[in-house]
Structure 1
C-alpha cells in the first residue's frame, strides 16, 4: 500500500520531509512513526497506517512535497510461504534540525546524525554544521580557507562572471508567516495607536514576588491586564464576518503570545485567560514557550486565538512598531522596551520612573480610534496599578 502525505490540519498544501525513521526492509507496527515532516505551522510525525514491511522509500529527506505525494510503499502482509529475510526495526535516531540545516549537511556530504547539537533540546543549528565542517577540514583545506579569507585584492567585475551569494529556502514556517502577513495587510484596515505606560509599580511588585520565590514574568501580568480590558471592550475580542455582515464577539479569551524561535515566529495560544490565575498563566506560558523553542507545538497549541500580544521588550532596542494583526482577529498589542526616564509628577516634582511603550494595532473596520484609546487607557491603569488586578483574579 502507498503511504501518502495527507492534510494534517488547516488546509495544509505542502510539507518538507525532515527525516525518515525507517528504511527499506524494516518491519513496522501500526501507528509506529515512519518519518517527520515540517508543515507551514508545525513539526509532525507520519505514522504507519498498518503493520507490515517497508518495501520502498519514494521521497527524499529535505524534499518539499505537496499533499497527496506518495512517501513510501508498505507491504501489509508477509508471505509465509516464501519468507524473505526480515530486517529489524530501524534504530534511526530522531535528529532535531531545520530542513535548511539538513540541506547544508547533505550538500557537504556529512551525516547529520554525527553532529552534536547545541540548540534547544539538542537541536542542530547551522553553526553546528559549519563548526563540524571546519573541524573535519584537512590541513591543506584549512590553509586554502585561510588564504581565501586573507585575499585583499579589489573586486574586479570584468574579471568575474559570477557573484557569490547565499540562497536560503523560502518555505515552511517562513512561507506561512509571509502568506498570513500578506493576507492580513490586504484584508484588515490596520490602524496603530501608541501609548506610554509607567511600569515602575509592576516591576517593584515582581521584585517582591521574586523575594518570595515567585518569579512571575511580566508577560503574564500583561496577559491578565489584556483579558480584564477585553471584558470591558469585547469589540477587540472579535471577528468580522463580512459575508454575514456581522461582528462575532467572543466570550472566551484565547490569547496568542508571539515567541521568537530559531525556526521563526510562533504564536502559541493560552486558552480561557479570563478564567485563570496569574500562577496558572505563568505555568502554561512557560510550558508553551519550551514547546515552541523545541519545535514541539501541536496544531491545537497554535490555533483558535482571539487576540494576540507580543512582548518584544526583552529583545532590546524596540521603542515602537506597527504590528500586523493575525487574521481573523481584530487587534494586537505589542509591548516594547522599558527605559528609565525623568517624569514630572502631579505636584511638579521630577522623578525617575520606568516607562514602557506599547503599540496597539486594530481593525478600523470594526472599531474606532476613540474606542482603541479607551481600551489602552484601561490597560494602562491596570499595568500601572497591578494591585487593581487582584479584584479580577480567579
Structure 2
C-alpha cells in the first residue's frame, strides 16, 4: 500500500485545507494524475499520484485543515502495468494469485446528476482556475463535458457551457436528462445540499439573525500567518510624506512618447536602490545562529487583493531589472494572481514586500504587518493635492503621497528607517536621478 501525504507545496507551509477529492475508492490512476485539491494561504494546488495504482481509501473529509505530513489517502501500487481497463462503470476485477479472478460489483450511494457527467464522478479533470471560473459563472462543473487532453475541462468549456445555457440549450430540466451514477466517497465528500448554517444564514431562538462567512481556506491561512508574524516580530511603523509631483510629470512625458510605466514600478526600483544602501531591510534574522543574513537579491513581493483574499506574488531580482521590465513583470504576476494561476515559484522567496493601497482611495496611513521572516514592508497610500511651502517660502499645490514603513525593531532602529525612507523620497521626488543608478 502507498500512503499519499500532504507535502510542502509552498514556501515553508505547515498546513492546508482540503478543498475536494478528485478520485474515489476503486479508481485506477496513473502517475501524476491529480488526487486531491488543497488550499494554502497563498494558492490552490493539486496533489498528484506518486505512481500508478488503485485508490483504496480516502482518509479525510473536504473542509478539514491538515498538517504537512498527514496521510490524505491510501492507494495500492499498480505501477507494474496498466490496469485501467479493469475499472469500468462501478465494476472492478479483484485478483488473487491463489484464487481465480472474481468480478465484484461496487454499490456506493447513488445521486442524480445530468446525463453526460462521467460515471467516475470523483475524477473530473479541471484545474483550480477552471473550477473557479465555473463557480463564478454559477456552473456545476459536473455538467460540463471536457474537450482538453484526457477529457480535461478547460476554461473554454465552461464559457461555452454558459453560452449554451443562456441560449436555452443546456436545460437540465428536460425529461430524461438524469441518470444514476455512484457518489464520490464515504469520506465526507458526498454531494448534498448545504445546511442552513453552511449557506451563511442562521436564525436563533433569540430572534437574532446572523450572516456568517466560512473561516477556512486562504482566509484562515492568512490569519495564522499574520498572528505568527505579529507575535514573533516587534513591529515599529514609520510614516512619511512623499511629493510625487515630479514623478507624475515624468510619467506623462513617457506616456506621450508612446510608453507607459506605472508609478508602482518607479516605487519598486527606488526601493531596490535604497536596499543596496540599507541592506539591513533586505535581511532575515537567524536567532538560532545569532546572525542577521543580509540578502543580496531583491525579491520584492507585491500584495494583490483578490476575491479569495490577499496574495503576494514575488518579482525576482529587481536589482537587475530596468523600469520597463519591472512594469511588465508586475502586470504579469498581478493577472496571474487575479486568475488564481500563480505557481509556487511565483509566490516564494520574497525578501521585501510592498502594498500599494493608494489606488483604492481613502487610505492615509496604516500599520502593516510584516511578512515573516522578512524584516520590512512598505505601504503606499492615497495621493492627494495639498498646498505646501516650497524652499523659496512660496505656497504651491503639490501631489503628496503618504507612506507607512513597518520594520523589525530587533534588526533595525528608527533612525535607519528614517534614512531609508529619506533616500526613497529623494529618488521619487527627483525621479530623473534614478537614471544615474541605471547607468
Q: TM-score range by the shorter chain?
A: 0.7 to 0.9
Whether the 8 Å contact between 2:45 and 2:128 is mirrored in structure 1 is no
Q: 1:380 to 1:78 in 2, by over 3 A?
A: closer
Deviation at 1:318, TM superposition (A): 0.4
Which of 261, 273, 277 is matched with 1:228 structurally?
A: 273
Answer with 90-99 or 281-290: which moved more. 90-99
Partner of 1:177: 222
1-structure distance, mates of 2:214, 2:298: 36
Q: What runs of 5+ residues in structure 2 fail to find an aligned partner?
A: 90-117, 145-154, 172-202
Q: Secondary structure at the match of 2:421?
A: helix
Partner of 1:70: 72
Deviation at 1:223, TM superposition (A): 0.6
Alignment of 1:238-387 (within 5 A): 238-387=283-432
Alignment of 1:116-135 (within 5 A): none
Deviation at 1:166, TM superposition (A): 2.5
Partner of 1:46: 47
Deviation at 1:276, TM superposition (A): 1.0
User: Could you tell me the TM-score, scaled by structure 2's length?
Assistant: 0.70
2-structure distance, mates of 1:355, 1:367: 27
Q: Secondary structure at the match of 1:365?
A: coil
Answer with 255-264 or 361-370: which moved more. 361-370
Partner of 1:5: 5
2-structure distance, mates of 1:68, 1:171: 18
- What RMSD over aligned residues (CA atoms) do the two structures have, in Å? 3.4
Deviation at 1:391, TM superposition (A): 1.1
Question: Whose strand proportion is higher, 1 or 2?
Answer: 2
Deviation at 1:390, TM superposition (A): 0.8
Deviation at 1:169, TM superposition (A): 2.7
Whether the 8 Å contact between 1:323 and 1:361 is mirrored in structure 2 is yes
1:203-257 per-residue CA deviation (whole Å, 9 max, x = no partner) reads: 1111222223322211111110001011111121112222323222222111111
Q: Secondary structure at the match of 1:183?
A: helix
Q: 1:370 to 1:174 in 2, by over 3 A?
A: same
Q: 1:78 to 1:251 in 2, by over 3 A?
A: closer
Deviation at 1:183, TM superposition (A): 2.1
**1:86 matches 2:82:** no
Q: Secondary structure at the match of 2:17?
A: strand
Partner of 1:34: 35
User: Could you tell me the TM-score, scaled by structure 1's length?
Assistant: 0.78
1-structure distance, mates of 2:248, 2:81: 70
Partner of 1:219: 264
Whether the 8 Å contact between 1:21 and 1:93 is mirrored in structure 2 is no
1-structure distance, mates of 2:409, 2:374: 12
Deviation at 1:363, TM superposition (A): 1.9
1-structure distance, mates of 2:368, 2:31: 45
Whether the 8 Å contact between 1:238 and 1:248 is mirrored in structure 2 is yes
Whether the 8 Å contact between 1:240 and 1:248 is mirrored in structure 2 is yes
Q: What runs of 5+ residues in structure 1 fail to find an aligned partner?
A: 116-120, 137-156
Answer with 370-379 or 234-243: which moved more. 234-243
Deviation at 1:7, TM superposition (A): 1.7
Partner of 1:118: none
2-structure distance, mates of 1:216, 1:186: 38
